[in-house]
Amino acid sequence: MQAQRKGREDCIVLAHYYTDGAVQAMADYVGDSYYLAKVAAKADKGTIVFCGVRFMGESAKILNPGRRVLLPDDAADCPMAHMASAARIRALRAAVEDLAVVCYINSTAQLKAESDVCVTSSNAVKIVSALPNKNILFIPDENLGHFVHAQVPGKKFYYSGGYCPVHAQLLASDVESEKLARPNAPVLAHPECKAELLALADFIGSTSEIISFAEGSGASEFILCTEPGVLWELSRRCPGKRFVPVTPVCADMKRITPAKVEACFAGGGFEVQMDEELMRAARRPLERMLELAR
């Protein structure tokens, strides 16, 4: 619609599934972290407006440095992105032979710059399996790391103790009580949840994998163990199916509002800026992810 495009002719708008439905409705592309990183890398418009948290905007800028990247809210940050340290990475590199540092994309550019390869929840198993190294330092999400290790048991894993404060607060007991009320409802969980909860899940995957699974499933009711922003896409793709979310909202993702996105089209927003050296060092593991996940 003409009126809606006014002011955004030279912008491409990307939104993560955890943002508010009204924000997702404004976007050109909506998806999980891996999909959005691929779209950002190829974006051919002058400005990328990234409706998500800071590490997503940083990854877009690193992968496509010729574009201006705007965040609608400067304070939208992922707490887990900071839950590792360069000092621990360097100490472990010095102490452990044949070590690959595998960095979840939910991380600062500084942590990526210390790492060998990035991963997202949808490609982590594939990428870790493809690495020749026997030892893996998986940062910062220990829960995702344990999930990957269970599927790649031949390697030794080290961790930094990080976690998603939204998914990690979900307890197995929260899901058990929902299961009692609806015994036929499959449990859909994001791998950022704790192992005790994943043990109860019928399907584990990234946001887009959860949505695709629900769409293809014959079940009519589901227990949803991921951030409830996915309900917007689920209601679009799965009409008639019912989803019972047990996970709280991510307050950082919800900082993005339609008004803040509109402000980006009118000269506002917050430009992602990093020094060239940092971007160069952080680009290597991100590009390796895109190659290995292909």
Residue 283 interacting entry, from ligand 13P, ligand SF4, none, C-beta within 5 to 8 Å by type: none
Shortest distance, CB of residue 230 to ligand SF4, whole angstroms?
11
Closer residue to ligand SF4, CB minimum distance, 217 or 257? 257
Closer residue to ligand SF4, CB minimum distance, 149 or 167? 167
Residue of 278, 223, 220 whose CA lies nearest to 247: 223
Shortest distance, CB of residue 104 to ligand SF4, whole angstroms?
9
Structure tokens at 182: 């609806």
- CA-CA distance, 294 to 284, in Å (whole number)? 16
Shortest distance, CB of residue 56 to ligand 13P, whole angstroms?
7
Closer residue to ligand SF4, CB minimum distance, 55 or 222? 55
Residue 24 interacting entry, from ligand SF4, ligand 13P, none, C-beta within 5 to 8 Å by type: none
Question: Using CB under 6 A as the criterion, which residues of the chain lie in contact with ligand 13P when the complex forms?
Answer: 16-17, 32-34, 78, 106, 120-122, 164, 190, 192, 206-207
Residue 120 interacting entry, from ligand SF4, ligand 13P, none, C-beta within 5 to 8 Å by type: ligand 13P
Q: Residue 243's beta-bridge partner residues?
A: 222
Residue 252 interacting entry, from ligand SF4, ligand 13P, none, C-beta within 5 to 8 Å by type: ligand SF4
Phi, psi values for residue 135, rounded to 5°: -110, 140
Beta strands in 11-154 (DSSP E): 11-16, 29-31, 47-51, 68-71, 99-104, 117-119, 135-139
Shortest distance, CB of residue 106 to ligand 13P, whole angstroms?
5
Shortest distance, CB of residue 100 to ligand SF4, whole angstroms?
22
Check: CB of residue 72 under 8 Å from CB of residue 93: no
- CA-CA distance, 41 to 35, in Å (whole number)? 10
Closer residue to ligand SF4, CB minimum distance, 58 or 227? 227
Residue 142 interacting entry, from ligand SF4, ligand 13P, none, C-beta within 5 to 8 Å by type: none
Question: Using CB under 6 A as the criterion, which residues of the chain lie in contact with ligand SF4 when the complex forms?
Answer: 18, 53, 78-80, 106, 164-167, 192, 227, 250, 252-253
Phi, psi values for residue 33, rounded to 5°: -65, -40
**What Cα–Cα distance (Å) separates residue 203 from each residue in 2, 216, 225, 233?**
41, 12, 10, 18
Amino acid at 223: I
Residue 207 interacting entry, from ligand 13P, ligand SF4, none, C-beta within 5 to 8 Å by type: ligand 13P
- CA-CA distance, 39 to 224, in Å (whole number)? 27
Closer residue to ligand SF4, CB minimum distance, 77 or 116? 77
Residue 148 interacting entry, from ligand 13P, ligand SF4, none, C-beta within 5 to 8 Å by type: none
Q: At what angle do helices 276-293 and 54-63 cross, to 10 degrees?
A: 90
